[in-house]
Every structure is written in C-alpha cells, then in structure tokens.
Amino acid sequence: MTNEEVVMTKDEKFINGFLQVFENKPELFELWNAVEALDDLDKAISKMADKSNQEVAVVISDWCKKYPKITDEIRNLLKDRKLKPEATKKEAQEPKLSNRYPELPENLKKRLPNS
C-alpha cells in the first residue's frame, strides 16, 4: 500500500456505498418509493455532525432496512468493490435527488477520507 492509498473503515465504505447509489442510481429511490423518506434521513444526518461514522452508518442502515432493494444495491457495490462513480443514463433524473437533498451528499462526503 502506498502513502496515497486511502483505507476506509467498514462504516466509511457503507456510507460511501449509500452515497454512490444515491448519486448514481436515483431511479432506485423513485422505483421503491423512498424519495419522500429521504427527508427524514437528510434531517437525521444533518444533526449528526459531531457523531461518529459508525453512528451515521447505523442510521443509514436502519433507514435502508425499509428499502431492501436499495440495501441490496449497496451490498453489491461493497461486495464487488465497485466504489467508482458510474454515470446514470437518465440525465433528467441525475440531479433530481441531489437538488432536492443537497446537504445529504455533502454531509456524507465530509465523513469520507480524501482519496
């Protein structure tokens, strides 16, 4: 491992996986009727600035339990180690969730080590 490689904890990997799904596959949130529930998650994460990544990961995990298909997508990313952003083909949907919940991805990105 070089000095430039970043090692993420299990919790950081889970947060990153959720963030990747949120940013790159917003259609899953729409498909599984999870968009409205993102408001609760957004508010919860916004209040957790002084909490650990483990605590934030637990909140996200608890939220995801209501949406097993989203959880499956995160697990697939983690299992396959595909933590690279993938462009979504639906341009009209791409910024939709980020525009509606702009603080959610920003708050989660702050928790991840810089690569």
Residue 37 lies in a domain: yes
Number of independent structural domains in the chain: 1
Residue 5 lies in a domain: no
pLDDT in tens, 39-70: 999 999 999 989 999 999 999 999 999 999 99
Residue 23 near residue 87, CB atoms below 8 Å: no
By residue range, what is the domain housing residue 105? Answer: 10-109
CA 95 to chain centre: 15
Cα distances (angstroms) measured from residue 25 to each of 2, 85, 106: 31, 10, 17
- Computed from CA positions of residues 107, 53, 8, 24, in that sequence, does the dihedral angle turn out positive or negative? negative
Residue 49 lies in a domain: yes
pLDDT in tens, 73-114: 999 988 876 444 444 444 544 456 667 777 888 888 888 887
**Separation of alpha carbons 77 and 39, rounded Å:** 24
**Separation of alpha carbons 42 and 63, rounded Å:** 11
Helix 38-46, helix 53-64: angle, nearest 10: 170
